[in-house]
Structure 1
Amino acid sequence: MTKCPTCGAASPAANQTPQNSEAEIVLRIPERHFPLMRKTFREMEMKLGMYGLGELANTLKPYGAFFNKDFDKLRYFDDGALGMVMHGVTAGYPAAVRITEEDDKRFASPERGERVAVHVDFTFPDGRVKPMAVAEHATPEAAAWFTDYIADLCARLSPAEQNAVHHDTQESEALNGK
């Protein structure tokens, strides 16, 4: 057995695991990955619950809670599509929010109030515009908030002008849906 040079306490034998020595992982997740993490935690909670593993599902809740900022507005938007929007913005593709009437009128009712569809249109270097549907039934208030959110996001996360658009084949194919 060896002793700690600072306090003189005996350290455990090399082949013996000390008690209360659980490992811990600390993650720093960039804002552009928040939708992906939110989707991951929500889907895992749901799957674990469906498999009858409610205790494990509940264990995930505190970790997923970190990604619930602005949930009252973001709940109308698809996290997978938002993840792709983040990818497009950080890759340097100019993005513009387009709000249209709700595509499916079957869901319209006076109790629900007015709903709109929200798309993000990316402009490619050759001038083509690729639309991405991010919400089908958002409230007009959530859509207006989202417009400001994307404008702020583009201002903060778009690469510098000289690096504005990456011509990486994988990024272009991902945004083109290939």
Structure 2
Amino acid sequence: MILIAEKRSRHDQFDVLRLVRNNGSATEIRMPRQSSLPRDLLHYVVESALPLHHGFLSRVAHGAEADAAQDAAHTAGNQRAEEQLVQAESIVDGLHAQLQAGAFDLPSFLSLTAAACEARGKRPFDLSPIDVQNSLFEQAQALNQQWQAIPYCSALSLDFRPRLAA
């Protein structure tokens, strides 16, 4: 699936993420303008690095509309939300907080991701075998630099390929 992140004009409050599936169908979602990498682009980092085959991007790649997939992950107490969807969203929560802080703190990250999963009634993803700082945080920083360098009224394309389980 191709992700096309469109940075709108300087005066827009939202940018747009267009998700083009391998079959050519597409969906899009508005991304609130932020000082750092938009949360929806953090899903690219997380779901490309971890075997979360039922995360936000994977659900969209398999036909879900972006808004519906996002709503399922954010609805408090949604027991029907797949565990991996909640896990991916929770990891994005923790990663987003670390990017906003401008530095990586593993205990804080793990605490935030665990709390976010537990608040949604799901178990946290086992991150123990992963070098989270290199696999996620540094990749998020690199993508953030790429995103910040894009001029207004331009786009960034990313090729999303889910990571296979080891």
Coarse TM-score class (shorter-chain normalised): under 0.3
TM-score, normalised on structure 2?
Answer: 0.28
Specify which structure has the bigger relative contact order, considering alpha-carbon pairs within 8 angstroms and separated by 6 or more residues: 2
